[in-house]
Amino acid sequence: MLGLSSNQITEQTGITKHRILRALMYTRKAMQSDIPKQFSGIVEVDETYMGDQWKNKRKSVRAKGTKRGRGTSKQPVFGIYVRKGIVWAELVDDVGSSTLQPLIKKQVKKAQQYIPIHGRDIQA
């Protein structure tokens, strides 16, 4: 059922949409409960930008051009990956060190090996 919308699951299974949405909510809650309060071990941190694809933008927006990476109009998302396969991500307002350092300090135990993926090093 991965990759299907609730409407598609309803059509394929014959179960009401209300029950499907409730089951999906419980599944998401169960997935979140596996995330520890603080990460330990080797952690990697990175940011990415989420938003509409370029081909889906209006012509007037495409005519102005856009910037990729830092400075783009897309929503920045900051993530922490632990080598055990656990991922934590959060929407952030900007990717400056004043925003990211408190998140790293909150989510990663002290004296852990910290690996920035690329770009500037944001030591916590």
What pLDDT, on the 0 to 100 scale, is given for residue 68? 66
What radius of gyration do the chain's Cα atoms show? 19
Dump the DSSP string for 5-35. Answer: -HHHHHHHH---HHHHHHHHHHHHHHHHHTS
Which pTM does this prediction carry? Answer: 0.56
pLDDT tens digit sequence for 46-62: 888 887 676 777 777 77
The mean per-residue pLDDT over the stretch 102-119 comes to 72
What local confidence, expressed as pLDDT, does residue 19 receive? 92
